[in-house]
Structure 1
Amino acid sequence: MGETPAKLPKVLSFVNQKGGAGKSTGAVHAVDWFTQKGFSVVLVDADGQQSSSSWSEELSLPHKVISDPEALFDELPKLAENHDVVIVDGPGNASEVTKAVLIRSNLVLIPCRDSMIDLASTGKIVQFVRQAKEIRGGLPVSALYLNAVKENTILLREAKEALQSGILPLLQTALPDRQCIKDSPGQASTVFRMKGSSAKSAADSFNSLFVEALKLFEAES
């Protein structure tokens, strides 16, 4: 699954105030990825819908539901002491919960779909991240990535251009629009556990995304 950098973020969070951006998909796949590499990892589901914790339950992956901002602020450092990595699935809104997650995160990934509506909606979460970085002297290390993209389209090119001109870096790896990724929650699986060429291709994309994000964290922290 590729080389893992030596320095890991104790708290890695997926945030975006827009529902359906791909936070839960990214978070659960990250938990499975780290687990398969032999790391001690736990998912914290901070989203009121609790979809990622239900999915993790079916995968027999360790998870907790914490959706109160004060509880998140207190509990995330404790969980980080007892695990190599804590993965947080943030809420689908810009709230005090999101702010608590940003204050306690070392690395933040912001999934974004390649529609102009989704691109426009990233403004608020980028503002939250910028404010957190200002308060914390540059932390959390943060980046955007494109999710569920249709390859080689004009919209994808325009989306990349729009995001690359922003405050936060855009990861080069984009997750493709694959049916196997959409099917994975319903099959109580991840693409790392599924068979077939499409699943392998999707798994390679997730692997590239996580390795790229960890290298960014290692370089900037």
Structure 2
Amino acid sequence: MPKLKAAKPSELPAKLPKILAFANQKGGAGKSTGAVHAADWFVQQGISTVLVDADGQQSSSAWIAELKLPYTVISDPELLFDELPKLSSHYDMVIVDGPGNANEVTKAILIRADLILIPCRDSMIDLASTGKIVQFVRQAKEIRSGSPSAALYLNAVKDNTILLREAQEALNQGILPLLHTTLPDRQCIKDAPGQASTVFRMKGGAAKAAARCFHNLLTEALMLFESQS
């Protein structure tokens, strides 16, 4: 099984989040893709990891079960609130795949998570839809005196397009930082669930390039978390 070369301990920040969540109230933004790839990446760094599927669609749990990685399904907000700290005491990293709507489950995630990553596609409809989740994050930060750390990132983008530049300009004007790293629109990423794989495990140049993008995105997000902690 081909693997992305594991980061050296010195390449990872000294302080890591215990609970990392992917959230966006719009379905199809890329939460499950990000969460499953993040779980696989952390495991390959030697970090004990569990994925929590909090989305009613349960797409990430079905996917990660085929990868034979630890996971659990929790879609009840009160149970999720209680269980996330318990899971973080048994694993070094808890990855949460949030629901495709802004509801009480999302609020429970924001209250418990250390780092929130918000995937967004570079369409005007998707950009406009980020307003609600950003509002939820802002409110959580007020309640929790600055936590959780949070950032947006652009997902499934085509390089060097006017649409991409406009999306970056729009998101850079918001209250949450936009990660510099983007995830590309690649068939290998779309094919990963159907192949019961991630780009870290797939062969070929396209998969290797996509794996590097995920590696860079997660590393950048961790560095942001450390800088804000």
Whether TM exceeds 0.5 here: the answer is yes
Rounded Cα–Cα distance in structure 2 between residues aligned with 1:219 and 1:6: 11
Which residue of 2 is the match for residue 161 of structure 1?
169
Among candidates 126, 132, 148, match of residue 118 of structure 1: 126
Which residue of 2 is the match for residue 35 of structure 1?
43
SS in 2 for 1:24: helix
Task: Name the aligned partner's letter for residue 178 of structure 1.
Answer: R
Which residue of 2 is the match for residue 176 of structure 1?
184
Residues paired across the two proteins, number: 221
2:53 paired with 1:20: no
Give the Å deviation of 1:183.
0.3
Describe the superposition over 1:160-186 as per-residue Cα deviations: whole angstroms up to 9, x where unpaired: 000000010000000000000000000
Rounded Cα–Cα distance in structure 1 between residues aligned with 2:221 and 2:212: 14
2:55 paired with 1:51: no
Rounded Cα–Cα distance in structure 2 between residues aligned with 1:182 and 1:4: 28
SS in 1 for 2:138: helix
Task: Name the aligned partner's letter for residue 125 of structure 2.
Answer: I
Task: Name the aligned partner's letter for residue 185 of structure 1.
Answer: P
Give the Å deviation of 1:28.
0.2
Task: Name the aligned partner's letter for residue 177 of structure 1.
Answer: D
Give the Å deviation of 1:4.
1.7
2:77 paired with 1:69: yes
Structure 2 gaps, min length 5: none
Among candidates 78, 101, 114, match of residue 93 of structure 1: 101
Rounded Cα–Cα distance in structure 1 between residues aligned with 2:23 and 2:112: 13
SS in 1 for 2:38: helix
Among candidates 193, 199, 213, match of residue 205 of structure 1: 213
Task: Name the aligned partner's letter for residue 55 of structure 2.
Answer: D
Identical positions, percent: 77
Rounded Cα–Cα distance in structure 2 between residues aligned with 1:150 and 1:120: 19
Task: Name the aligned partner's letter for residue 173 of structure 2.
Answer: S
Rounded Cα–Cα distance in structure 1 between residues aligned with 2:91 and 2:65: 18
What are the residue-to-residue correspondences of 1:179-194 with 2, within 5 Å?
179-194=187-202
CA RMSD of aligned residues (A): 0.6
Mean alpha-carbon deviation: is it higher for 3-12 or for 14-23? 3-12
Task: Name the aligned partner's letter for residue 208 of structure 1.
Answer: N
Give the Å deviation of 1:102.
0.3
Among candidates 72, 81, 105, match of residue 89 of structure 2: 81
Q: TM-score normalised to the size of structure 1?
A: 0.99
Runs of 4+ off more than 4 Å: none
Describe the superposition over 1:20-52 as per-residue Cα deviations: whole angstroms up to 9, x where unpaired: 000000000000000011111000000000000
Give the Å deviation of 1:7.
1.0
SS in 2 for 1:132: helix
Describe the superposition over 1:124-165 as per-residue Cα deviations: whole angstroms up to 9, x where unpaired: 000000000000000000000000001100000000000000
2:150 paired with 1:132: no
Q: TM-score normalised to the size of structure 2?
A: 0.96
